[in-house]
Amino acid sequence: MLAAVIHAAFPVFALILTGWLCARFKLLNTLSMEGLNKFVIYLALPAQLFDAMSHATLTDLAQPGFYWAFSIGMLATAGLHALMIRNSHLPKTDTIIQCMTSAYSNAGFMGIPLCLIVFGKAGLSPAIITTLFTVSFLFALTTLWIELTRLEHGKLAPAMRKVSVALVKNPLLIAPILGICWSASGLHMPSAIDRYINLMGEAATPCALVAIGLFLAANPMRSFDRSVVRIVLLKIAVQPVLTAFLVFYVFDMPLMWAQIAILSAALPVGTGPFMIAQIYQRDASACARAILISTLCSVITISILLAWITQTIT
């Protein structure tokens, strides 16, 4: 079992460590991190999402229990955070961003590579769905929530328009939707184009994980407060427990889908809340610290989860 865990976890954390070492030894810098992030977000990861969904069938994706379990676990975690800080004196926008941070999994940069390594290509579809729920649904819901708190004279249209534009411009939403449409069309993809998309998509996993390592090196942990501890505990402990209860006792789904739901819920904090904080010109230090600490802690928590998963697989 230990060998199986090492086989699953080592490539992921070794690639993150590689990025960190490259930054520490000045082989790559902040500009490199920005370039890698853009390459992954706008090219490699959308290609991987399109490739996976273009080869999937609607029957394969018909797992409503999975959708409900993961989304309810995510929203319940954010709601629990809101309940815990209901008496705080934080500005509304900062409160909303912290709630988002406590439930925002690093699904695209870490979840998809993990599922690909552990489950093979069979794990790509559920991993991509968790990515969609995180980077599209939760991101959009947070943006809408912030905009609604800033409404002037009850005008809802500007808020809805801003959220719609953000979704339409999001390549991580558009790519899998186009992939599903292509699959449903029954058209044959020319082999040269299919190979091009596949090669581009294969670059997503190593580049994304190296970019995480660069981020960790660029944002060393100096201090953190109670809010960061609360966010991290909710993200890597409470959310996976809530999701596990839902997938095993409330909703029906295949074991692999249940395991991926739990694994995705247990992932460390992604960069989405950091981006939201920058968009609205808020202090992003709590987000950055939560990303750093949850990623470091996930070395232990994810390894424990992988030990359980590999035991059930073997």
The class level of CATH for 2-313 reads: mainly alpha
| pLDDT given at position 58 | 67
What's the average model confidence in pLDDT over 280-308?
83
Judged against a pLDDT cut of 60, whether residue 314 lies above it is answered with no
Per-position b or e across 100-121, b if 16+ CB within 10 A of its CB: bbbbbbbbbbbbbbbbbbbbee
Judged against a pLDDT cut of 70, whether residue 176 lies above it is answered with yes
pLDDT, tens digit (0-9, with 9 covering 90-100), for 250-282: 999 999 999 999 999 999 998 778 777 867 778
Q: What is the pTM of this model?
A: 0.78
| Domain boundaries, given as residue ranges, for the chain | 2-313
> Exposed, middle or buried by CB within 10 Å (0-12, 13-18, 19+), for 301?
middle
Percent of the chain surpassing pLDDT 70: 90
pLDDT, tens digit (0-9, with 9 covering 90-100), for 122-140: 888 898 889 888 877 887 7
The strand pairing partners of 105, in sequence order, are 269
The single-letter code of the amino acid at 87 is N
Q: What CA–CA distance (Å, rounded) separates 122 from 208?
A: 20
Per-range mean pLDDT, top range of 67-71, 176-180, 184-188: 67-71
Q: How far is CA 101 from CA 77, 159, 203, 233, 303, in A?
A: 10, 21, 27, 11, 22
| pLDDT given at position 77 | 96
What's the average model confidence in pLDDT over 91-109?
88
Q: What CA–CA distance (Å, rounded) separates 193 from 42?
A: 18
| Cβ 180 vs Cβ 60: under 8 Å | no
Judged against a pLDDT cut of 60, whether residue 2 lies above it is answered with no
Contacts of 306 (CB under 8 A, 6+ apart): 4, 5, 8, 9, 118, 263
Contacts of 249 (CB under 8 A, 6+ apart): none
| pLDDT given at position 121 | 83
Q: Which residue has the tokens 């695209």?
A: 108
Residue 306's nearest CA partner among 248, 238, 259 is 259
Over the chain, what is the mean pLDDT?
83
What's the average model confidence in pLDDT over 32-48?
84
Please compute, for residue 108, the number of CA atoms within 13 A of its CA located in the half-sphere on the CB side: 31
The residue with greater pLDDT, 60 or 308, is 308
What is the band of 221 on the pLDDT scale with cuts at 50, 70, 90?
low
